[in-house]
């Protein structure tokens, strides 16, 4: 039994320390907890944390992720213009979220001059995390919630003893083409960060230290590539996509996978990772294209299309995340330049319902990914299987999604499970 220090505790201690200094500090608050659940998942938090990188220019600047998923940056020797530019990029990512659209006054992102606004920032932190006094003193029989180097070493040690294949999932992208017919365009392979956390460190906040989190994801990238390089599937999709850190592309294990994998590979990259070092991006993109493979820019919103010239990045695909608010936005004119460019494929991801599919088709999009597509493909697989009556749609979808033998062996017809179902009508 010991006292757990929460992110709020460390933040308050930091504020108390800098209050004694004569150096001017800024405080920046970004209220991610205001957003809809779909906009504050692990991937979104990772993107936002990377957008803060230009402000973390010295050892006196620090980014905190609070228990409610809000971000607080404490920084010095940075300009107000730099802060405003980062906040503009962050807000633009979520401009279609209901909390942003409907707020009467701007409380999503706030800037504080800590020489005079210290008490106001502390008050907001207490208001947003009302249990802070309990969190700083409560005794719990578990590891601290903050991610630290010791926890990273422990986590990596646990991973070494486990089969990484158990954490690797796949999800198909379905192409609806009136001329060529409907087909699987590619399958995305990715490591489930949520599953890693739930299995190995359920009480640890992996995002509380961005540097350590990046080390973890780079390790998971290498483990996934090693698994795929030795994987034998009964049936291979026409292409696969891999959601990777930009730095992973320079690793020897990536080169090895390219040599042994029998179908084309699409590398999915986050826009924040690309902007972090454009020179490295163009070098890696050139390497990928020279090997005959492709680049996809992932996790885009409609707002991204309005202020980013993605043509300069020369992607082969762009992936747009569906949101119900898109039905209220004027998106057709923003999508038209990309949809009318044959060299760029547009994918609408996070399609959780038929509404997303209908919206995408109306815009002219042909490629779709998400739970609704998983359900359609799972139903086709189950209904066409000799043993389909012996399983449920949920179990069939679960077996199709994972590479883990522990789950896949629940299926008595693995060859049919890996086969790509024929989609005549959807």
| pLDDT score for 397 | 81
State residue 136's pLDDT score: 40
**Can you tell me the distance from the alpha carbon of 173 to that of 179, in angstroms, rounded to the nearest whole number?**
18
For residue 324, the model assigns a pLDDT of: 72
Residue identified by tokens 């959780």 is 352
Rounded to whole angstroms, the Cα distance separating 214 from 283 reads 21
For the domain made up of 149-418, the CATH class stated in words is alpha beta
d(CA 188, CA 112): 42
Q: How far is CA 288 from the centre of its chain?
A: 21
Cα–Cα distance for residue pair 82/63, rounded to 1 Å: 15
User: Domain extents for the chain?
Assistant: 2-140, 149-418
pLDDT of residue 2: 37
The CATH class of 2-140 is: alpha beta
Q: 391 with 407: CB under 8 angstroms?
A: no
Residue 105's pLDDT is what?
64
Measure the CA–CA gap between 6 and 396, rounded to whole angstroms: 40
Q: What SS3 string covers the chain? A: CEECCCHHHHHHHHHHHHCCCCCCCEEEEECHHHCCHHHCCHHHHHHHHHHCHHHCCCCCCEEEECCCCCEEEEECCCCHHHHHHHHHHHHHHCCCCHHHHHCCCCCCEEEEEHHHHHHHHHHHHHHHCCCHHHHCCCEECCCCCECCHHHHHHHHHHHHCCCHHHHEEEEEEEECCCCCCCEEEEEEEEECHHHHHHHHCCCCEHHHCHHHHHHHHHHHHHHHHHHHHCCCCCCCCCCEEEECCHHHHHCHHHHHHHHHCCCCEEEEEEHHHHHHCHHHHHHHHHHHHHCCCEEEEEEECHHHHHHCCHHHHCCCEEEEECCHHHHHCCCHHHHHHHHCCCCCEEEEECCCCHHHHHHHHHHCCCEECCHHHHHHHHHHHHHCCCCHHHCCHHHHHHHHHECCHHHHCCCCCHHHHHCCCCCCCC
One digit per residue, pLDDT tens: the chain, 426 residues? 334 467 888 888 889 888 888 788 999 999 999 988 778 877 788 788 888 888 887 667 889 988 888 999 998 888 888 888 888 888 878 877 777 777 666 688 999 999 888 999 999 988 888 755 434 433 333 444 667 788 888 888 888 888 899 999 999 999 998 888 889 999 999 998 878 887 888 777 777 677 788 889 999 999 999 999 998 777 889 999 999 999 999 999 999 999 999 999 999 998 878 887 889 999 999 999 999 999 999 988 887 887 788 999 999 999 998 877 677 667 888 899 999 999 999 999 988 888 889 999 999 999 999 988 998 898 888 887 877 788 888 878 888 888 887 777 777 777 777 777 777 656
pLDDT at 310: 93
């Amino acid at each position: 039994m010991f006292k757990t220090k929460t992110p709020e505790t460390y933040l308050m201690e930091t504020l108390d320390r800098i209050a004694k200094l004569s150096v001017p500090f800024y405080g920046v608050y970004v209220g991610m907890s205001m957003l809809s659940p779909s906009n504050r998942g692990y991937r979104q938090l990772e993107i936002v944390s990377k957008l803060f990188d230009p402000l973390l220019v010295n050892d006196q600047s620090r980014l905190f992720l609070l228990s409610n998923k809000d971000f607080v940056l404490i920084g010095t020797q940075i300009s107000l213009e730099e802060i405003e530019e980062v906040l503009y990029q962050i807000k633009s990512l979520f401009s279609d979220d209901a909390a942003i659209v409907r707020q009467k006054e701007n409380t999503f992102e706030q800037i504080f001059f800590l020489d005079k606004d210290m008490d106001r920032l502390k008050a907001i932190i207490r208001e947003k995390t009302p249990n802070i006094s309990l969190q700083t003193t409560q005794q719990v029989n578990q590891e601290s919630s903050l991610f630290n180097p010791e926890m990273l070493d422990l986590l990596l040690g646990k991973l070494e003893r486990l089969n990484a294949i158990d954490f690797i999932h796949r999800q198909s992208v379905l192409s609806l083409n009136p001329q060529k017919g409907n087909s699987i365009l590619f399958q995305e392979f990715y490591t489930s960060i949520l599953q890693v956390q739930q299995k190995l460190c359920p009480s640890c906040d992996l995002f509380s230290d961005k540097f350590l989190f990046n080390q973890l994801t780079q390790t998971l990238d290498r483990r996934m590539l090693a698994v795929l390089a030795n994987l034998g599937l009964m049936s291979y999709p026409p292409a696969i996509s891999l959601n990777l850190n930009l730095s992973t592309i320079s690793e020897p294990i990536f080169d090895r996978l390219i040599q042994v994998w029998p179908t084309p590979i699409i590398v999915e990259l986050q826009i924040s990772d690309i902007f972090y070092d454009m020179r490295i991006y163009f070098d890696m993109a050139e390497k990928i294209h020279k090997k005959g493979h492709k680049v996809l820019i992932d996790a885009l919103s409609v707002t991204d299309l309005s202020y980013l010239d993605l043509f300069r990045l020369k992607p082969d695909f762009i992936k747009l995340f569906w949101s119900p608010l898109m039905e209220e936005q004027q998106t057709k004119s923003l999508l038209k330049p990309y949809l009318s460019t044959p060299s760029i494929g547009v994918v609408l991801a996070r399609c959780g319902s038929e509404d997303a599919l209908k919206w995408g088709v109306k815009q002219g999009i042909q490629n779709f990914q998400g739970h609704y597509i998983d359900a359609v493909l799972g139903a086709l697989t189950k209904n066409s299987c000799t043993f389909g009556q012996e399983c449920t749609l949920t179990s069939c979808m679960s077996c199709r999604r994972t590479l883990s033998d522990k789950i896949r062996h629940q299926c008595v017809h693995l060859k049919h499970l890996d086969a790509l179902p024929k989609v005549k009508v959807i």
